[in-house]
Amino acid sequence: MLSVAAAPTSVVEFNESIEQMRIIESGGTLVSVPVDVALPSVNEPHEAMIVEDAIRHNAEQQDLLRRVLEG
């Protein structure tokens, strides 16, 4: 993820505001998974608190976050 974050913004990513394009254009792979409950996403800085609150109240999301952070 650090190499993706350090990669320059591509033309498509910039024009379309789709940050996932940086992963694809850097040779990475995206995988989507079905979920039973839709969760909020962060598109603007003020939305981060909404997502943090959703994670605080969802044990499954807490477990997933812990596993991601532990590597």
Q: Where are the domains of the chain?
A: 1-32, 33-71
What pLDDT score does 49 carry?
Answer: 92
What pLDDT score does 4 carry?
Answer: 67
- The confidence band for 1, taking pLDDT boundaries of 50, 70 and 90, is low
Residue range 16-41, pLDDT digits in tens: 777 788 888 888 888 887 878 788 88
Nearest to 39 by CA among 67, 18, 62, 16: 62
What pLDDT score does 36 carry?
Answer: 82
Residue range 44-57, pLDDT digits in tens: 889 999 999 989 99
DSSP 8-state symbol, 45? G
What pLDDT score does 53 carry?
Answer: 92
Nearest to 53 by CA among 42, 66, 68, 67: 42
